[in-house]
Chains A and B, each alone.
Chain A
Amino acid sequence: AQSVTQLDSQVPVFEEAPVELRCNYSSSVSVYLFWYVQYPNQGLQLLLKYLSGSTLVESINGFEAEFNKSQTSFHLRKPSVHISDTAEYFCAVSDRDAAGNKLTFGGGTRVLVKP
């Protein structure tokens, strides 16, 4: 069984300030790791993913996340946020060795960017 914990349910941050969203997971098997973003009244969009290789992964809009196997974490960071980054962010894992597509999500972190 897998579980994902997002340590902060809400994170208020000022525009152009950095932000870090914390994600820890528990799993008895090797996993893939993902961050998804959900804007109001929309579905989820994949932000970035860790499959293998370099433990630091980056998205095209300035977010990055680092996989830390020893701490079973996959924290998301952005050095300078914009108003448009206001959204809910979900960390998710899936079993590397299982057939199919099943994501286990954390509870989400709501980011509110203030001007």
Chain B
Amino acid sequence: KAGVTQTPRYLIKTRGQQVTLSCSPISGHRSVSWYQQTPGQGLQFLFEYFSETQRNKGNFPGRFSGRQFSNSRSEMNVSTLELGDSALYLCASTQSGSSPYEQYFGPGTRLTVT
């Protein structure tokens, strides 16, 4: 079974631009969560989508948004990029009905904002 895939793996953007990151969960997994990893703040939860609905949300500004499609693939969008948005963005998928909270992580998208 293929693991969680994230595209692109690396991205360089300029302040003020917007960016869209993509996450394809493991086949059969219906929940996708997103996390931001930075040296200063560590790993922080952004949001979770389940069956195309946002189920949980972290403490990030409205510039961070996401969505999930009917095939469980998820995208996150960051508008009006700031230097502080430079980070590794990780997504994780979970199979409903499995051992609770068994999250499988992708390799991440490294975003650099200049």
Contact = CB atoms under 8 A, between A and B. Distances in A.
A92 B101 CA distance: 11
A107 B56 contact: no
Interface in A96-115: 98-108
Interface residues of B, number: 26
A74 interface: no
A44 B101 CA distance: 14
A103 B102 contact: no
A44 B33 contact: no
Nearest to B47: A102
Interface of B: 4, 31, 33, 35, 42-45, 48, 50, 55-56, 58, 90, 92, 94, 99-108
Interface of A: 32, 34, 36, 41-46, 49, 51, 90, 92, 94, 98-108
Given A49-B99, A100-B56, A101-B101, 18 more contacts: A32-B100, A34-B101, A43-B92, A43-B105, A44-B92, A46-B104, A49-B101, A90-B43, A101-B31, A101-B33, A101-B92, A101-B103, A102-B33, A102-B56, A103-B45, A105-B42, A105-B43, A108-B42
